[in-house]
Chain A
Amino acid sequence: ETGVTQTPRHLVMGMTNKKSLKCEQHLGHNAMYWYKQSAKKPLELMFVYSLEERVENNSVPSRFSPECPNSSHLFLHLHTLQPEDSALYLCASSQVSGLTGGYTFGSGTRLTVV
């Protein structure tokens, strides 16, 4: 399998649940990202991992917890979410080199918090 794969594609969870989103890339990239996409808002950068180290945490609430066990896998652990956290969560990967590196995105996980 090639590209960036995200699972699950859809997730409905209650505010007291704990769930995890998974992202896997088979491109040999050394950086991975979590973005949140909500209606009428630009993509919001949540977390960046470069060479398996977290290099950015954009003031994301602690109810979101990332994990990057190796350069090919990225998780987003969710607990006690709020309805306003409902959104499309996108994972991306890239090669950290130069100015022109583009991102390869997964298809996203559509999250609904009820």
Chain B
Amino acid sequence: TQLLEQSPQFLSIQEGENLTVYCNSSSVFSSLQWYRQEPGEGPVLLVTVVTGGEVKKLKRLTFQFGDARKDSSLHITAAQPGDTGLYLCAARRSGNTPLVFGKGTRLSVIA
């Protein structure tokens, strides 16, 4: 059983479109992070959310942590080719336990 379920697995959209990807679990987490990984590189941290219901914005990216701290979403407005990559969510159950990762959503933005 996958601890963190990410959907969709693959997404291909045109430049300028909006999109939302999801990270769901039946477990409660103390914190959740989103990373983006480009081909040939390691994942890069985008954001950390800690409080249930928290919303954070990073330019055209909006991250939300569910009220029950079991799920999260990432919304991208007016996607650009530079947004192409693998988006990974990762979470901790408590304290300093190591991060657990989802399988990721592979996003392709076509110019």
Contacts and interface: CB of A to CB of B under 8 A. Distances in A.
Q: Report, as a range, how many residues of chain A touch the other chain.
A: 20 to 34
B42 A106 contact: yes
By size class, the interface of chain B is: 20 to 34
Max count, chain A CB within 10 A of own CB: residue among B40, B42, B96: B42
Contacts, number: 55
Nearest to A97: B96
A106 B31 CA distance: 22
Question: A-side binding surface: helix, strand, loop or mixed?
Answer: loop
B45 A104 contact: yes
A109 to B, nearest CB: 10
Contacts of A53: none
30 contacts: A33-B98, A35-B101, A40-B103, A41-B103, A42-B2, A42-B100, A42-B102, A42-B104, A43-B88, A43-B90, A43-B101, A45-B99, A48-B98, A50-B96, A56-B98, A90-B43, A96-B96, A97-B96, A98-B96, A99-B30, A99-B31, A99-B50, A99-B92, A100-B48, A103-B43, A105-B42, A105-B44, A107-B40, A107-B41, A108-B42
